[in-house]
Amino acid sequence: MQSSVIVLLVLAIIAANLPFILPRVGGFMAVKHKHFGWQLLELVVLYLLIGLLARFLEGRQMPVHAQNWQFYVTTIALFAVFAFPGFAGCYFWKKRRVTSRKV
């Protein structure tokens, strides 16, 4: 594999997990509790940024190929798979508050 492809995949994995790791919206705006809607918006924005980077890297090496809807569906699904560790860590392994009742 070419080094640019490896760098692109590593960046995509990191970018897909950022919305679930960072407590701020977009890395800048502080909120009390970051809802899933903000995380989904960040995922879409990061997907588009990684797509632009991929298109730029492809354009530097060869002519850019036209893509159909199948390409975008596949890359969105791949980006969602990359985001699963961050999603699982944020929602499935979250420490829950245990309230103890005194009898």
Q: Provide the pLDDT for residue 65.
A: 84
pLDDT tens string 68-93:
999 999 999 999 999 998 988 888 87
The number of residues making up the chain comes to: 103
23/38 Cα distance (integer angstroms) = 11
pLDDT of residue 100 exceeding 80, the answer is no
Please tell me what DSSP assigns to residue 55: H
Q: Provide the pLDDT for residue 37.
A: 86
Give, in order, the Cα–Cα distances in Å from 65 to each of 54, 69, 98: 12, 13, 54
- Short-list 66, 73, 88, CA closest to 16: 88
Whether 19 and 86 have beta carbons less than 8 Å apart is answered as yes
Query: Would you list the domain boundaries of the chain?
Result: 3-91
Q: Provide the pLDDT for residue 1.
A: 62
Query: What is the rounded average pLDDT of the residues 6-27?
Result: 86
- Short-list 11, 2, 3, 6, CA closest to 53: 11
pLDDT of residue 103 exceeding 90, the answer is no
Q: Provide the pLDDT for residue 34.
A: 76
Model's pTM, two decimal places? 0.80
pLDDT of residue 98 exceeding 80, the answer is no
Per-residue tokens: 50: 């990684």
66/35 Cα distance (integer angstroms) = 36
pLDDT tens string 41-74:
899 999 999 999 989 988 888 888 888 999 999 9
